[in-house]
Protein backbone atom coordinates (compact mmCIF):
# COMPACT_ATOMS: atom_id res chain seq x y z
CA UNK A 1 0.00 0.00 0.00
CA UNK A 2 1.42 3.41 -0.97
CA UNK A 3 2.10 5.95 1.74
CA UNK A 4 -0.59 8.61 1.85
CA UNK A 5 0.79 11.98 2.86
CA UNK A 6 -1.71 13.49 5.26
CA UNK A 7 -1.84 17.25 5.44
CA UNK A 8 -1.43 18.79 8.83
CA UNK A 9 -4.36 20.48 10.48
CA UNK A 10 -3.90 23.24 12.99
CA UNK A 11 -6.16 23.20 16.02
CA UNK A 12 -6.57 26.80 17.15
CA UNK A 13 -7.84 27.52 20.65
CA UNK A 14 -6.96 29.28 23.89
CA UNK A 15 -7.87 26.04 25.72
CA UNK A 16 -5.18 23.35 25.75
CA UNK A 17 -7.59 20.93 27.55
CA UNK A 18 -9.62 20.71 24.34
CA UNK A 19 -6.52 19.80 22.35
CA UNK A 20 -5.56 17.14 24.90
CA UNK A 21 -8.97 15.54 24.36
CA UNK A 22 -8.98 15.59 20.57
CA UNK A 23 -5.35 14.78 19.71
CA UNK A 24 -5.64 11.02 20.48
CA UNK A 25 -8.68 10.80 18.18
CA UNK A 26 -6.94 12.63 15.34
CA UNK A 27 -3.81 10.49 15.83
CA UNK A 28 -5.90 7.32 15.83
CA UNK A 29 -7.08 8.28 12.33
CA UNK A 30 -3.53 9.12 11.20
CA UNK A 31 -4.18 12.86 11.13
CA UNK A 32 -1.22 15.03 12.05
CA UNK A 33 -2.24 18.02 14.13
CA UNK A 34 -0.54 21.04 15.64
CA UNK A 35 -1.86 23.14 18.50
CA UNK A 36 -1.82 26.92 18.15
CA UNK A 37 -2.76 28.67 21.38
CA UNK A 38 -4.41 31.99 20.66
CA UNK A 39 -7.61 33.68 21.79
CA UNK A 40 -9.91 34.11 18.83
CA UNK A 41 -12.35 36.97 18.79
CA UNK A 42 -15.84 35.63 19.42
CA UNK A 43 -18.81 37.20 17.66
CA UNK A 44 -22.03 37.74 19.62
CA UNK A 45 -24.57 35.31 18.21
CA UNK A 46 -27.40 33.08 19.39
CA UNK A 47 -26.01 30.37 17.08
CA UNK A 48 -23.08 28.25 18.17
CA UNK A 49 -22.64 27.34 14.47
CA UNK A 50 -22.23 30.99 13.45
CA UNK A 51 -19.72 31.52 16.28
CA UNK A 52 -17.72 28.43 15.24
CA UNK A 53 -17.71 29.45 11.56
CA UNK A 54 -16.57 33.00 12.37
CA UNK A 55 -13.82 31.68 14.67
CA UNK A 56 -12.58 29.30 11.96
CA UNK A 57 -12.48 32.18 9.46
CA UNK A 58 -10.40 34.35 11.79
CA UNK A 59 -8.13 31.36 12.63
CA UNK A 60 -7.54 30.74 8.92
CA UNK A 61 -6.93 34.44 8.30
CA UNK A 62 -4.37 34.49 11.13
CA UNK A 63 -2.46 31.32 10.11
CA UNK A 64 -3.16 30.96 6.37
CA UNK A 65 -3.16 27.19 6.93
CA UNK A 66 -5.83 24.47 7.20
CA UNK A 67 -7.46 24.93 10.59
CA UNK A 68 -10.03 23.37 12.84
CA UNK A 69 -11.57 25.07 15.83
CA UNK A 70 -14.03 23.75 18.37
CA UNK A 71 -16.80 25.66 20.06
CA UNK A 72 -19.12 24.07 22.54
CA UNK A 73 -22.04 24.97 24.73
CA UNK A 74 -23.63 23.62 27.89
CA UNK A 75 -27.43 23.86 27.79
CA UNK A 76 -29.69 23.49 30.85
CA UNK A 77 -33.35 22.84 29.99
CA UNK A 78 -34.98 24.56 32.98
CA UNK A 79 -32.85 27.68 32.36
CA UNK A 80 -34.13 27.82 28.75
CA UNK A 81 -30.79 26.60 27.41
CA UNK A 82 -28.59 28.89 29.52
CA UNK A 83 -25.55 29.12 29.59
CA UNK A 84 -25.46 27.73 26.02
CA UNK A 85 -23.02 29.57 23.78
CA UNK A 86 -21.96 31.73 26.76
CA UNK A 87 -20.65 28.70 28.67
CA UNK A 88 -17.03 29.83 28.81
CA UNK A 89 -17.97 33.27 30.17
CA UNK A 90 -20.43 31.78 32.69
CA UNK A 91 -17.84 29.27 33.87
CA UNK A 92 -15.33 32.08 34.45
CA UNK A 93 -17.86 34.27 36.29
CA UNK A 94 -20.20 31.85 38.13
CA UNK A 95 -18.22 28.63 38.12
CA UNK A 96 -19.67 25.22 38.94
CA UNK A 97 -20.73 26.19 42.47
CA UNK A 98 -22.56 29.28 41.19
CA UNK A 99 -24.44 27.25 38.59
CA UNK A 100 -25.36 24.57 41.15
CA UNK A 101 -26.61 27.31 43.52
CA UNK A 102 -28.76 28.75 40.73
CA UNK A 103 -30.26 25.27 40.27
CA UNK A 104 -30.48 24.12 43.91
CA UNK A 105 -34.32 24.03 44.13
CA UNK A 106 -34.85 22.87 40.54
CA UNK A 107 -36.15 19.34 39.98
CA UNK A 108 -35.82 19.38 36.17
CA UNK A 109 -32.07 18.92 35.83
CA UNK A 110 -31.94 17.87 32.15
CA UNK A 111 -28.92 19.30 30.34
CA UNK A 112 -26.82 18.63 27.27
CA UNK A 113 -23.52 19.56 25.68
CA UNK A 114 -23.03 20.41 22.01
CA UNK A 115 -19.64 20.48 20.32
CA UNK A 116 -19.13 22.05 16.90
CA UNK A 117 -15.88 21.45 15.02
CA UNK A 118 -15.39 23.96 12.21
CA UNK A 119 -12.91 23.12 9.44
CA UNK A 120 -11.57 25.90 7.24
CA UNK A 121 -8.93 25.60 4.50
CA UNK A 122 -9.64 28.99 2.93
CA UNK A 123 -11.90 27.43 0.28
CA UNK A 124 -14.12 25.02 2.19
CA UNK A 125 -15.78 25.70 5.52
CA UNK A 126 -17.50 22.69 7.06
CA UNK A 127 -18.95 21.94 10.50
CA UNK A 128 -19.33 18.69 12.44
CA UNK A 129 -21.56 18.34 15.48
CA UNK A 130 -21.58 16.11 18.54
CA UNK A 131 -24.28 16.15 21.23
CA UNK A 132 -24.46 14.42 24.60
CA UNK A 133 -27.58 14.53 26.73
CA UNK A 134 -27.62 14.06 30.47
CA UNK A 135 -28.35 15.84 33.74
CA UNK A 136 -26.87 18.41 36.06
CA UNK A 137 -25.54 16.78 39.21
CA UNK A 138 -26.47 17.97 42.72
CA UNK A 139 -22.84 18.55 43.69
CA UNK A 140 -19.47 18.92 41.97
CA UNK A 141 -17.10 15.96 41.78
CA UNK A 142 -13.36 15.88 41.20
CA UNK A 143 -11.69 15.48 37.81
CA UNK A 144 -11.95 17.02 34.40
CA UNK A 145 -12.19 20.73 33.65
CA UNK A 146 -14.88 23.34 33.03
CA UNK A 147 -18.35 21.95 33.68
CA UNK A 148 -17.09 18.32 33.69
CA UNK A 149 -17.58 17.94 37.49
CA UNK A 150 -21.32 18.78 37.33
CA UNK A 151 -22.53 17.02 34.16
CA UNK A 152 -23.71 13.40 34.22
CA UNK A 153 -24.15 11.99 30.70
CA UNK A 154 -26.98 9.54 29.94
CA UNK A 155 -26.30 5.83 30.53
CA UNK A 156 -23.93 6.43 33.45
CA UNK A 157 -24.16 7.69 37.03
CA UNK A 158 -20.75 9.37 36.88
CA UNK A 159 -19.92 12.95 35.93
CA UNK A 160 -17.62 13.82 33.04
CA UNK A 161 -15.10 14.69 35.78
CA UNK A 162 -15.22 11.21 37.31
CA UNK A 163 -15.19 9.61 33.85
CA UNK A 164 -12.06 11.65 32.98
CA UNK A 165 -10.27 10.19 35.99
CA UNK A 166 -11.17 6.71 34.73
CA UNK A 167 -10.10 7.59 31.15
CA UNK A 168 -13.69 6.92 30.04
CA UNK A 169 -14.96 10.40 29.18
CA UNK A 170 -14.51 9.83 25.43
CA UNK A 171 -17.08 7.00 25.54
CA UNK A 172 -19.76 9.66 26.20
CA UNK A 173 -18.12 12.91 25.08
CA UNK A 174 -19.80 15.42 22.77
CA UNK A 175 -16.32 16.52 21.65
CA UNK A 176 -15.35 12.94 20.82
CA UNK A 177 -18.45 12.62 18.62
CA UNK A 178 -17.76 15.81 16.64
CA UNK A 179 -14.01 15.20 16.15
CA UNK A 180 -14.71 11.58 15.15
CA UNK A 181 -17.14 12.80 12.44
CA UNK A 182 -14.56 15.34 11.25
CA UNK A 183 -11.75 12.75 11.20
CA UNK A 184 -13.70 10.26 9.10
CA UNK A 185 -14.65 12.98 6.61
CA UNK A 186 -11.11 14.39 6.44
CA UNK A 187 -9.49 11.02 5.83
CA UNK A 188 -12.02 10.34 3.07
CA UNK A 189 -11.29 13.61 1.23
CA UNK A 190 -7.54 13.13 1.58
CA UNK A 191 -7.78 9.60 0.17
CA UNK A 192 -9.93 10.91 -2.70
CA UNK A 193 -7.25 13.50 -3.50
CA UNK A 194 -4.59 10.80 -3.82
CA UNK A 195 -6.56 8.62 -6.25
Separation of alpha carbons 16 and 30, rounded Å: 20
Q: Crossing angle for the helix pair 16-28 and 174-194, nearest 10 degrees?
A: 50
71 is catalytic: yes
Asked if 116 and 48 count as a contact pair (C-beta separation under 8 A), the reply is yes
- Please pick, among 71, 72, 108, 121, the residue that the annotation labels catalytic: 71
Going by their DSSP bridges, the two strands 83-84 and 33-37 should be labelled as: unpaired
Tally Cβ neighbours within 10 Å of residue 58: 18
Residues ≥6 apart with Cβ < 8 Å to 65: 8, 10
Please list the active-site residues: 71
Amino acid sequence: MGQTKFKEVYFVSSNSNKYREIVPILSHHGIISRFVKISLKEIQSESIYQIAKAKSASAFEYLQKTVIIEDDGFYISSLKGFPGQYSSFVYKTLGNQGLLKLMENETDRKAYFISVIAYNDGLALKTFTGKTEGTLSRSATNGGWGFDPIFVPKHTSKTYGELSQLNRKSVFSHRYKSIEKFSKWYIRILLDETH
